[in-house]
Structure 1
């Protein structure tokens, strides 16, 4: 089951990378980003999209460790200790 999840995640990331590549090739016109009073230099739209996707992937992986999503294994161990077979006695 875990290998299927890893395969699914890899396929989703590959599709996103291909979509970013296609969009960046088709939209090579430079854009500048504005936030409040700040403005960036002129950079291609595909590069902006690639940076946004990379920041999203890294940010999600960092936030998963803070949210405690890695604790699912310890919960399974606690449930395994709670349910004891009658054959063990």
Structure 2
């Protein structure tokens, strides 16, 4: 099952890379990013998309262990709540 999950994830990432490649070839027009008062140099849309996708993948890879730590604390509380349930019939 784990190998199927890895295959599925690889397939999804490959589809996104292909989509970014197609968009970058079709939209070669240089763009400039603006944020508040900051402005970047003019770069092609494909590079902006690839950079954004890469930052997103790295960000999720870094944050995923933190989410797992937060979930493990909640599951312990649920186990304790099930342990103290009163099973008397009324």
Q: Per the shorter chain, which TM-score range?
A: 0.7 to 0.9
Q: Which runs of 5+ in 2 are unaligned?
A: 76-90
Q: Which runs of 4+ in 1 moved over 6 A?
A: none
Count residues in correspondence: 72
Q: Which runs of 5+ in 1 are unaligned?
A: 76-89
Q: Tell me the CA shift for residue 65 of structure 1.
A: 1.2
- Can you list the C-alpha shifts for 1:41-88, whole angstroms capped at 9, x where unaligned? 00000000000000000000000011126x88xx8xxxxxxxxxxxxx
- Can you list the C-alpha shifts for 1:6-55, whole angstroms capped at 9, x where unaligned? 00000000000000000000000000000000000000000000000000
Q: TM-score, normalised by structure 1?
A: 0.76
Equivalents in 2 of 1:56, 1:15: separation in Å?
16
- The residue that corresponds to 2:68 in the other structure is 68
1:3 is paired with a residue whose SS is: helix
Q: TM-score, normalised by structure 2?
A: 0.75
Q: RMSD of aligned C-alpha atoms?
A: 1.7
Equivalents in 2 of 1:65, 1:42: separation in Å?
36
